[in-house]
Structure 1
Amino acid sequence: MVHLPMARRFNSTGAVNVLKFDQARAEAIRKRGSPGLNAAETQQNVEGGITNIDATSQVVSYVVSTLIGNPPHEYQLLVDTGSSNTWAGAGKPFIPTLSSQPTGDLTTVQYGSGIFVGMEVVDQVTLAPGLTLPRQSIGDGLVSMGFSGVDGILGIGPKGLTCGSFLPELGKCVPTVTDTAFQLGLLTEYMVGISFAPSATEGSTNGELTFGGIDTTKFNGPLDFVPLTRIQPANAFVGVDQTITYGRNQSVVLDRSAGILDTGTTLILIASDAFERYTQLTGATEDEDVGLLKITQEQFNNLQSLFFTIGEVAYELIPNAQIWPRALNPAIGGAPDSVYLIVADMGSVSGLGLDFINGMAFLERYYMVYDVGGSRAGLAQTANTFSEIN
Structure 2
Amino acid sequence: MSQSTIHRVEFKTNVVHINDVKQRDLARAKHLVAGHQPHGPKAKKPQHPRKQDCDGSSEIPVTDNGVTYLVNCGLGEPATNVSLLVDTGSSNIWVKDTSYQVTSTSTDTRKPFSIGYGSGSCSGTEYTDRLTLSKDLVVENQSIGVADKCAQMDGFDGIFGCGPVDLTKDTMAPDASNPNGIATVMDNLKSRGEIKIECLGIGYAPTTELNAASGTLCFGGADPSQYTGDLNYVPITSTSPASQYWGIDQSITYGDMEIMAECAGISDTGTTLILLPQDAFNCYQQQTGATLDPNTGLLTVTQAQYDQMKSMYFCVGDQKYELIPNAQRLSRNQSDSPDAITLAFMSMGDIQNDGLCFINGYAFLQRYYSVYDTANAQVGYAATKYTYATTN
TM-score bracket, shorter-length normalisation? 0.7 to 0.9
Aligned to 1:323: 329
Q: 1:350 to 1:259 in 2, by over 3 A?
A: same
Among 82, 89, 92, the alignment partner of 1:85 is 92
After the TM superposition, which residues 1-390 of structure 1 pair with which residues of structure 2 at under 5 Å, given as runs? Answer: 1=4, 2-4=6-8, 7=11, 9-12=13-16, 15-33=18-36, 35=38, 60-89=67-96, 92-167=98-173, 173-247=181-255, 249=256, 251-326=257-332, 328=333, 331-332=334-335, 334-348=336-350, 351-390=353-392
Q: Which string of whole-angstrom CA distances, capped at 9 and with x for unpartnered residues, describes residues 176-202 of structure 1?
A: 111111111111332111010000122
**What are structure 2's unaligned runs of at least 5 residues?**
40-64
Contact 1:33 1:237 in 2 (8 A): no
Contact 2:7 2:136 in 1 (8 A): no
TM-score using structure 1 length: 0.87
216-225 vs 165-174, which moves further: 165-174
**What are structure 1's unaligned runs of at least 5 residues?**
37-57
State, as a whole percentage, how many aligned pairs show the same letter: 39
Deviation at 1:77, TM superposition (A): 0.9
TM-score using structure 2 length: 0.87
Counterpart Cα distance in 2 of 1:348 and 1:315: 27
Contact 1:9 1:60 in 2 (8 A): no
Equivalent position SS for 2:197? coil
Q: Which string of whole-angstrom CA distances, capped at 9 and with x for unpartnered residues, describes residues 342-390 of structure 1?
A: 0111233654311111111111101111112111111111000001112
Aligned residues: 361
Contact 2:110 2:126 in 1 (8 A): yes
Query: Relative CO higher for 1 or 2, CA cutoff 8 Å, sep ≥ 6?
Result: 2
Deviation at 1:257, TM superposition (A): 0.9
Aligned to 2:57: none
Q: Which string of whole-angstrom CA distances, capped at 9 and with x for unpartnered residues, describes residues 297-341 of structure 1?
A: 111111111110111100000011001123x1xx34x34422110
Q: Which string of whole-angstrom CA distances, capped at 9 and with x for unpartnered residues, describes residues 274-307 of structure 1?
A: 2112111211110011221011111111111111
Contact 1:17 1:59 in 2 (8 A): no
Aligned to 2:48: none
Q: Which string of whole-angstrom CA distances, capped at 9 and with x for unpartnered residues, describes residues 35-87 of structure 1?
A: 49xxxxxxxxxxxxxxxxxxxxx952311111111232111111111111101
Deviation at 1:9, TM superposition (A): 2.4
Equivalent position SS for 1:87? strand
Aligned to 1:49: none
Deviation at 1:242, TM superposition (A): 0.6
Q: 1:226 to 1:5 in 2, by over 3 A?
A: farther
Contact 1:3 1:208 in 2 (8 A): no
Letter matched to residue 192 of structure 1: L
Equivalent position SS for 1:339? coil
Contact 2:12 2:83 in 1 (8 A): no
Deviation at 1:132, TM superposition (A): 1.8
Contact 1:8 1:206 in 2 (8 A): no
Deviation at 1:6, TM superposition (A): 7.3
Counterpart Cα distance in 2 of 1:213 and 1:340: 34
Equivalent position SS for 2:31? helix
Deviation at 1:8, TM superposition (A): 6.7
Counterpart Cα distance in 1 of 2:190 and 2:180: 20
